[in-house]
Chain A
Amino acid sequence: MRRGEILIALFLIVVSVAAWISSAGFVAETAMVRTLSPAFYPRLVVGGIIFCALLMLVRARHARTREATVAWGQWYKVPLAAGAMFLQVFSFEELGVFPSAWISLVLLMWITRVRLRMNLLISTGFLVFVYLFFVLLLQLKFPTEFLPTLLGRD
Chain B
Amino acid sequence: MERQRKTISCFMWLAMAGMIFLGVQASSVALAEYPDRPVEIIVKGGPGSGISQLGHFAAKLAPKYLGQSMVCLYKKGGSGAVAQAYIQKRSADGYHVFMDTTTTAIVLARGKVPFTEKDWQGVIRLQVDPQGVAVRADSPWKNFKDLAAWIRKNPGKLRWAGSHAVGIDPYTVALLLKATGLDSTDIKYVPAEGASHMTTMLLGKHIDVATLNPREVKEQEAAGNFRVLGTGHPERLKDHPNWPTFKEQGFDVVVAIWRGALVKAGTPAAVVKKLHDTFNAMRQDPAFVQFLKNASQIDGYMGGPDKFDPFFKEQVQKMKAYFAK
A and B touch in the complex (CB under 8 A): yes
How far in angstroms is the closest Cβ of chain A from B298? 27
Q: How far is the CA of A121 from the CA of B28 in the complex (A)?
A: 29
Which A residues are in CB contact (< 8 Å) with B174?
A: 32
Name A's interface SS: loop
Q: How far is the CA of A120 from the CA of B114 in the complex (A)?
A: 43
Q: How far is the CA of A30 from the CA of B324 in the complex (A)?
A: 10
Q: Which of A30, A34, A153 contacts B29 (CB 8 A)?
A: A153
A66 at the interface (CB under 8 A from B): no
Q: Which of A34, A146, A148 contacts B20 (CB 8 A)?
A: A146
How far in angstroms is the closest Cβ of chain B from A29? 5
Chain A, residues 41-61, CB within 8 Å of chain B (1/0): the string is 000000000000000000000
Which A residues are in CB contact (< 8 Å) with B173?
A: 32
Which A residues are in CB contact (< 8 Å) with B90?
A: 154
A23 at the interface (CB under 8 A from B): no
Chain B positions 141-177 with a Cβ under 8 Å from a chain A Cβ: 165-166, 170, 173-174
Residue of A nearest to B191 (CB): A33
Which A residues are in CB contact (< 8 Å) with B28?
A: 151, 153
Q: How far is the CA of A144 from the CA of B173 in the complex (A)?
A: 45
Chain B positions 227-268 with a Cβ under 8 Å from a chain A Cβ: none
How far in angstroms is the closest Cβ of chain B from A13? 31
A147 at the interface (CB under 8 A from B): yes
How far in angstroms is the closest Cβ of chain A from B34? 14
Binding site for A on B (CB under 8 A): 5, 8-9, 11-12, 15-16, 19-20, 22-24, 26-29, 71-73, 89-91, 110, 165-166, 170, 173-174, 184-185, 188-191, 323, 325
Binding site for B on A (CB under 8 A): 29-34, 95-96, 98-99, 102, 117, 120-121, 124, 141, 144-148, 151-154
18 A–B contacts from the bound complex (CB under 8 Å): A30-B165, A30-B166, A31-B325, A32-B165, A32-B170, A32-B184, A32-B189, A98-B23, A99-B16, A102-B16, A120-B8, A141-B72, A144-B22, A145-B27, A147-B27, A151-B27, A153-B27, A154-B91
Contacts A120-B12, A146-B20, A154-B89 supplied; 10 other A-B pairs, CB < 8 Å: A29-B166, A32-B173, A32-B184, A33-B165, A33-B170, A117-B5, A124-B11, A144-B23, A146-B22, A154-B91
